[in-house]
Amino acid sequence: GFKELWDTQPQSELIKQLVDEYAANIANHTHCFSGVESLLIALDQKKIKWGIMTNKPGFLTDPLVAAIPALKNASVVISGDTLAEAKPSPLPLLHCAKLMGVQPKRCLYIGDAQRDIQAGKAAGMRTATALWGYIPSIDEANSWNADFNWQSPIDGFNHI
């Protein structure tokens, strides 16, 4: 089993195997969280630009984004290795804003990790915690002090 492999093989080889398997199955069983697609459609209808900034490396980000039709209208897609720094550095978010031609103070960055909120605040953006995401706990996520804590993407409709 996996435990035996973990105990007997160098971790770097196991990580490579995991990444290879992930890359080969990047979009299998992958879909947007409930409500995200509707929110993106509403943003598009209102001609509000939106983008994706992830710490996932580009060789994984690009095929995943391409495989999910709801993401086709992203104004910009920035991966963790696009620049020399990744989140929690604000540089990738500032790069996104620049590419979209939007001042950072007019941006809202939504994330489900503390580094997302840290990066957004450091970039001078408003921030929202996606409480429906992969958060450790509601209490911990609330402690990140985002401008908004959204229970679901539907909460985003109140701000567009």
Contact status, residue 108 vs residue 128, Cβ threshold 8 Å = yes
Sign of CA dihedral 118, 120, 125, 128: negative
Domains of the chain (ranges, CATH numbers): 1-30 (no CATH), 32-157 (3.40.50.1000)
Report the pLDDT value the prediction gives residue 31, as an integer from 0 to 100: 85
Distance CA 42, CA 11 (A): 44
Q: From residue 150, how far is each of 8, 89, 138, 158 by CA, in Å?
A: 43, 23, 11, 10
Locate 20 and state its tokens: 């290879």
Give residue-wise pLDDT tens across range 11-22.
777 788 888 888
The pLDDT, as a whole number, for residue 129 is 96
pLDDT for 3 beyond 60: no
Mean pLDDT of 124-144: 94
Report pLDDT for 28: 86
Calculate the average pLDDT of the chain: 91
Quote the pLDDT of residue 158: 73
Residue 39 pLDDT exceeds 90: yes
**Per-residue pLDDT at 8:** 65
pLDDT at residue 100 tops 80 = yes
> Taking each helix axis from N to C terminus, what angle separates 91-100 and 114-122, rounded to the nearest 10 degrees?
60
Model confidence at 81: pLDDT above 70: yes
| Structural contact between residues 142 and 117, judged by C-beta atoms closer than 8 angstroms | no
Q: Which of 24-33, 107-116, 140-149 has the lowest mean pLDDT?
A: 24-33
Give the dihedral of Cα atoms 40, 69, 103, 116; nearest 10 deg: 80
Q: How many residues does the chain have?
A: 160
CB atoms within 10 A of CB 147: 15
pTM, two decimals, is: 0.85
Average pLDDT over residues 115-119: 97
pLDDT at 5: 56
Closest listed residue to residue 34, CA positions, set 142, 156, 118: 156
Which pLDDT does position 130 carry in this prediction?
A: 96
